[in-house]
Structure 1
Amino acid sequence: MFVYEVDEHITLRQLNLQDANQLFALIVSNRSYLREWLPWLDTNVSSDDSIAFIEHILQSYEAKKGLTAGIFYQDKLVGIAGFNAFDWTNRIGYIGYWIGQDYQGYGIITSVVRALTDYAFTEAQLNRVDIRAAFTNKKSRAIPERLGFKEEGILRQSEWLYDHYVDHVVYGMLASDWVENKRDQ
């Protein structure tokens, strides 16, 4: 089971089926907030959907296709983050994340993405990490920008969000850049 201590307050932990009700409660309490940027909220309508999600991410982890974990802040599930996919041929990890509205502004996601990026280059031996965020999602875009990711381009109409397309900004970090960034800190 994947467990990664980010700091004394934040842990990334692989979800298990016992987490389904807590995950669903987090989604329900943040549904309108999360709906602005996440396209799957209308299909997550019961704890069975959270069970199916957890089963999917466990299978993805077993197959080494992804690594998605719960973000636990002071032992409470507050969001989800991880590698939505791995491209092992090209040594790329694609990071995704979301957090409940009440936990924004504490630096949790910045710390989590920093830890995931470090994990990508030190443990998983990846060469590149990608993060994609909707062009107008300033809060999500601030994370890779704060961590020194390079803005590499815009994918036009990259995602369908309920009734409209949104463009995505692509951010990239190379292993060599990460080492250099850490040396400069």
Structure 2
Amino acid sequence: MFFRTITDEIQLGILTVQNAQELFSLIDASRGYLRQWLPWVDGTKSPDDSREFIERSLHQFSSNNGFQAGIWYKAQIVGVIGFHAMDWNNRRTSIGYWLGEQFQGRGIMTTACRAMVDIAFREYKLNRVEIRAAVENTKSRAIPERLGFLKEGVCRQAEWLYDHFVDHVIYSMLSEDW
């Protein structure tokens, strides 16, 4: 299984079904905050829903199609980051992430995202990594901007978010620029 220590306080690791309750509790504690930008929050109603997500993630990992990693801060799960899918033919992927509300503003996600980009380029030998975020989601957009990603443009009405469409900003990083 994948487990990586990033700093003395931050680790990334493949989620297991034993993490389902802890993951659900984190989502539930940040439900209103996460719901602003993540369309799956209302569908996560119990630890069983978190377990199903983890099982799909484990299948993704075993199929060599990327992975979803829990983010641990001071031995507590605080969020998730992962590769959506691997496009091995074109050597590219995209990264998605979320962090519990109470853990914002500590540099955790920037550190985790930097590690994921390193994994994409150094270990998986990919050429391109994308990050997409809603135009108004300034906290999520700050991550690729901080890491030096290039803003490529805006996809209009890219995602249905409960009762409206949101536009997405597309950021990219190429291995030669990393």
Class of the TM-score when normalised by the shorter of the 2 chains: over 0.9
Q: Displacement of 1:78 after TM fit?
A: 0.2
Cα distance in 2, alignment partners of residues 85 and 106 from structure 1: 28
Output aligned runs, 1:141-152, within 5 Å: 141-152=141-152
In structure 1, stretches of 5+ residues that fail to align are 179-185
Pair 1:6-2:28 in alignment: no
Question: Secondary structure of the residue that 2:68 maps to in structure 1?
Answer: strand
Question: Secondary structure of the residue that 2:71 maps to in structure 1?
Answer: strand
Q: What is the match of residue 46 of structure 2?
A: 46
Computed over aligned residues only, the root mean square deviation of the Cα atoms, in angstroms, reads 0.6
Cα distance in 2, alignment partners of residues 48 and 116 from structure 1: 27
Could you state the TM-score of these two structures normalised by the residue count of structure 2? Answer: 0.99
What do the CA deviations read for 1:59-99 (whole angstroms, capped 9, x no partner)?
Answer: 00100112110000011000000111111110112100000
Q: What is the match of residue 182 of structure 1?
A: none
Q: What is the match of residue 66 of structure 1?
A: 66
Q: Which amino acid aligns with 2:163?
A: D
Q: What is the match of residue 24 of structure 2?
A: 24
Q: What is the match of residue 55 of structure 2?
A: 55
What do the CA deviations read for 1:151-182 (whole angstroms, capped 9, x no partner)?
Answer: 0011100000000000000000000000xxxx
Output aligned runs, 1:86-97, within 5 Å: 86-97=86-97
Deviation >4 Å, runs of 4+:
none
Q: Which amino acid aligns with 2:120?
A: A
Cα distance in 2, alignment partners of residues 19 and 4 from structure 1: 17
Cα distance in 1, alignment partners of residues 139 and 70 from structure 2: 20
Q: What is the match of residue 132 of structure 1?
A: 132
Q: Displacement of 1:119 after TM fit?
A: 1.0
Q: Displacement of 1:35 after TM fit?
A: 0.2
Cα distance in 1, alignment partners of residues 123 and 4 from structure 2: 11
Cα distance in 1, alignment partners of residues 82 and 10 from structure 2: 14
Q: Which amino acid aligns with 1:37?
A: W
How many residue pairs get matched?
178
In structure 2, stretches of 5+ residues that fail to align are none
What do the CA deviations read for 1:29-83 (whole angstroms, capped 9, x no partner)?
Answer: 0000100000001111011101100000000010011211000001100000011
Cα distance in 1, alignment partners of residues 60 and 2 from structure 2: 13
Q: What is the match of residue 33 of structure 1?
A: 33
Identity score, percent: 54
